Amino acid sequence: MSTHDSSSADDGGLVQLLLPDGERIADAGYDKWVADVDDDQLKSLYEDMVVVRRIDTEATALQRQGELGLWPPLIGQEAAQIGSGRTLRQDDFVFASYRENGVAYCRGVEYTDLLRVWRGHTHSGWNPYDINMAPSQVIIGSQTLHATGYALGCQQDGVDTVAISYFGDGATSQGDPNEAMVFAASFQAPVIFFCQNNQWAISEPVGLQARAPIASRAPGFGIPSMRVDGNDVLAVMAATRIALDRARSGNGPTYIEAVTYRMGPHTTSDDPSRYVDVLEREGWQAKDPISRLEAYLQSRGLLTDEFTGRVNATADDVAAKVREGCLGLEPPEPLSVFDHVYSEPTSWLERQKDEYVQYLQTFEGGQ
Amino acid sequence: MIKDFKLPDLGEGLTESEIVKWQIAVGDTVELNQVIAEVETAKAVVDLPSPFAGKVTALHEAAGATVQVGAPIVSFDVPAEAGADDSGDGTAAGSGADSEGGTPEAKPERQSVLVGYGPAAESDGRPKRRRRSGNGGGAGSAGVAPQATAEPTPESATKPTPESAPEDPAEATPAAASPAQAAPAAASSNSAASKPAERPRSTPPVRKMAKDLGVDLTRVTGTGRDRLITRADVQAFADTAAAPETPGAQAPRSGTAEREVRIPIKGVRKHTAAAMVRSAFTAPHVSEFLTVDVTPTMELLAKLKDSSAFAGYRLTPLTIVSKALMVALARNPSLNSRWDEENGEIVQMNYVNLGIAAATPRGLVVPNIKDAEQLSLTGLSTALTDLTETARAGKTSPENLSGGTISITNIGVFGIDAGTPILNPGEAAILAMGAVRKQPWEYQGEIALRQMMTLSLSFDHRLVDGEQGSKFLADVGAILAEPGMVLTMV
């Protein structure tokens, strides 16, 4: 939706339904898209956000303990991921980057499947067709092309399934998302470009690569866009539903820029204290997606001790399962690396495999 | 049940990390994921969460130690039921050969080799190979044998036994402690033989040409950009080789010595680099030079050395320069101040902690003499002698390495005249003393051979303007040119 009631925005067209202090503000254009969100749904959104943050801290700890090679934390982006992930239909298909563990959670991923890639055991943690979510894409931005292609397929099949692609602000400087937008607009593909602008492309601040709001680029491709407060779970839900509705009804792609903040490092190998201004981070801390929803629940009398206790217990339970599952993962056999390169063996690959077998035999206890 | 926490690879392919700070002590009871240490890798400073809940029974490394990935750093006493998986202890991570020694079937309790724990790094930073079953074992064990006796180093030589210094495991780890730590000693003894030379730089067509001509590219010196070996180089080499060999011309090319050596950035080198970068890019440096006829100072030194009052004291130009600096500082106090960014204040010190740059076997350190302005000439002499001897022995205490207010660097001992020294971080000025040389100079209206020294002063322009810096330098110079001038200054 390229136009909306600007009175609801404090930042030149930023859609907001929930202010950082938890105040719910009315918005004529967006309210109706979250009118069905009742107390129970609010509480369950809160629970999901708390749980994915807990998964994140546990996975980070596992990396620090040598159990994972790497982990890309999502802390600060829970509302953007849960708010959008929860609106998707089961047959919709997600093409995400490596940071969308919250979206994967919404898709019902097994915890161990979330981790095995980062333990170096496999190239893909899950069967994409089990949860309708492609393997995490580490190549920056290329999943936008995959999503657009999948959406074109849905269009050809005559189904109202939607493809959604998640990427970051850094990816918008890559060619792939721009090419994907050209094709998506040309064919009016049922695809959503969901950009989580977390302000940092590793150590490069977004302002260096985007002189104007990222959302303002899409109309140039002929794609309507929305710029929403990515730490406002209700605004994210509303925007995603608008985009889903447009795609399902045959009106083509939508671009959503969810303005959020990466509170942690780019990955566990990164040290943001070298480039992030402490004051900037504190400013975003005050806009935290979970504490904002917490304040809203409090104002509605929903934040009882019984409720928060139950949520925290659930989060701890999930964290324990994450740890247990991680420690229980069996490393793959070395030769299995050759198994899924091609659907059928090639002489070239067979030769490599033979050579690797011989190489392993040069070690004591080799195979 | 005792479980060891081995240092993981915290950042995709790192081989070591430095323990910055322990947040636990032996005897503490810790919870799962409780932060136990702050660790600095080449990439980041990170908190280390405990992988176990239990009681700390040992810390294997001291804060400040650089630890190889895979080396045990903490031992925990973990309640038995919590540790059903026996993977944490037992076989040392570094000795892959041992843990894989039997047949796979013979080890049903498979070791869950944690990420980053498999390859313990050798001194060259590469993962350690498992020992080959064939002919490789002999060479490997031969290389390991000599390490049982600790390689003599300046540090260990000054101590009666390695075990006598348990308070600093980073410096004098008993060599037999673990294979992972002992490896460097063995590797360094035969590093030239075991380390492959850098691959010659060339392009594929040139490599083909060399192959066709039977030229070994490792013997060819490249003349192209970045020592790239060109077609002409290969042709020239082939031509020379075809001609009768002239041993003299050939010798320099034939060596298989490494063209580059990679040295890990750590310890004093690392701290020096950080301090210099911080200083150079924080304090706007100004440097000034003054060449002084120090003949009167040298004459004074000669007199003092002969006098009974100074017998037994080591008096050098540095002693006089230090004293002159105290006098000049009292007249130009802004040179002895500090920029306090946090509080928006300039702190002017009414004491002088005189830093002296000392080149030691471990690298550059700048220990300082506390309250140096209160010392007499003999007091300064004693303090300077103590300071340099302590520094060279590597025993300077941390408090003497911090809190300096101004520094002197004696580049003259290297035969150098002048330079633009970089400020010791937090200090307003640093004075470099050049070498004392006999040079023709104007003296009483004639040209005479005089003993000359150039003083180089760098100061922080945030704190000191050209006027104060110049006056200070002129004062020091005036004293060295005529020590009696002190009478007009105090």
Measured in whole angstroms, how far is the alpha carbon of residue B147 from the centre of its chain? Answer: 24
CATH number at residue B425: 3.30.559.10
Q: Which residue has the higher pLDDT, B147 or B54?
A: B54
Q: Which residue has the higher pLDDT, B246 or B49?
A: B49
Q: Render A31-87 in DSSP notation, one character per residue.
A: GGGGTT--HHHHHHHHHHHHHHHHHHHHHHHHHHTTS-S-----TT-HHHHHHHHTT
CATH number at residue B99: 2.40.50.100
Q: Which residue has the higher pLDDT, A279 or A188?
A: A188
Q: Do B10 and A64 touch (CB under 8 A)?
A: yes
User: Which residues lie closer than 8 Å to A74 by C-beta, 6 or more apart?
Assistant: A52, A53, A56, A81, A99, A100, A101, A102, A264
pLDDT score, position A365: 59
Q: How many domains does chain B have?
A: 3
Q: What is the pLDDT of residues B317-338, one digit of tens each?
A: 999 999 999 999 999 999 999 9
Of A48, A56, A95, nearest in space to A74 by CA: A56
Q: Of B60, B271, B285, B461, which residue is the catalytic one? A: B461
pLDDT score, position B309: 87
Whether pTM > 0.90 for this model: the answer is: no
In a domain, B198, yes or no: no
What is the average pLDDT score of chain B?
A: 78
pLDDT class of A339 with cuts at 50, 70, 90: confident
Residues B333, B480 within the same domain = yes
pLDDT score, position A134: 97
What residues of A are in contact with residue B16 (Cβ under 8 Å)? Answer: none
For A143-152, B103-112, B239-248, which range has the lowest pLDDT when averaged over its residues?
A: B103-112
At B337, which amino acid appears?
A: S
Residues B321, B391 within the same domain = yes
What residues of A are in contact with residue B51 (Cβ under 8 Å)? Answer: 65-67
Q: What is the pLDDT of residues A71-129, one digit of tens each?
A: 999 999 999 999 999 999 999 999 999 999 999 999 999 999 999 999 989 888 899 99
Contact between A58 and A321 (Cβ < 8 Å): no
B441-to-A106, B444, B445 alpha-carbon distances in Å: 85, 10, 10
In a domain, B197, yes or no: no
pLDDT score, position B434: 95
User: If one looks up domain A6-332 in CATH, what number appears?
Assistant: 3.40.50.970
Q: Which of B143, B164, B191 is the last residue of a domain?
A: B191
B7, B33, B74, B135, best to mutate vs chain A, most A CBs in 10 Å? B33
Residues B229, B277 within the same domain = no
pLDDT score, position B81: 63
CB-based burial of residue A76 (10 Å sphere; 0-12 exposed, 13-18 middle, 19+ buried)? Answer: buried
Residues B289, B246 within the same domain = no
Residues B119, B142 within the same domain = yes
Three-state secondary-structure class, residue B62: coil
B451-to-B215, B306, B479 alpha-carbon distances in Å: 58, 20, 15
pLDDT score, position A366: 52
In this model, does residue B311 exceed pLDDT 80?
A: yes
pLDDT score, position B430: 97
Q: Of A266, A292, A296, A323, which residue is the catalytic one? A: A266
Residues B209, B141 within the same domain = no
Give yes or no: A266 in active site: yes
pLDDT score, position A364: 66
In a domain, B40, yes or no: yes
d(C-alpha A62, C-alpha A315), whole Å: 16
For A187-201, A273-287, B130-144, B299-313, which range has the lowest pLDDT when averaged over its residues?
A: B130-144
Q: What is the pLDDT of residues B399-428, one digit of tens each?
A: 788 889 999 999 998 899 999 999 999 999
The parent domain of residue B213 ranges over 204-254
Residues B147, B242 within the same domain = no
Q: Which two tokens stand for residue B385?
A: 């002698």
Residues B105, B233 within the same domain = no
Give yes or no: B461 in active site: yes
pLDDT score, position B121: 41
Question: Does the predicted interface ipTM exceed a cut of 0.90?
Answer: no
% of chain A at pLDDT higher than 70: 96
Residues B280, B403 within the same domain = yes
Residues B184, B226 within the same domain = no
Sign of the alpha-carbon dihedral angle for B157, B160, B161, B164: negative
In a domain, B259, yes or no: no
In this model, does residue B306 exceed pLDDT 50?
A: yes
Contact between A195 and A256 (Cβ < 8 Å): yes
What residues of B are in contact with residue A264 (Cβ under 8 Å)? Answer: none
Q: For chain A, which residues make up each domain, given as ranges?
A: 6-332, 334-367
% of chain B at pLDDT higher than 70: 73
Give the side-chain half-sphere CA count within 13 A for B239: 6
Q: Of A64, A89, A275, A359, which residue is the catalytic one? A: A275
Residues B170, B221 within the same domain = no
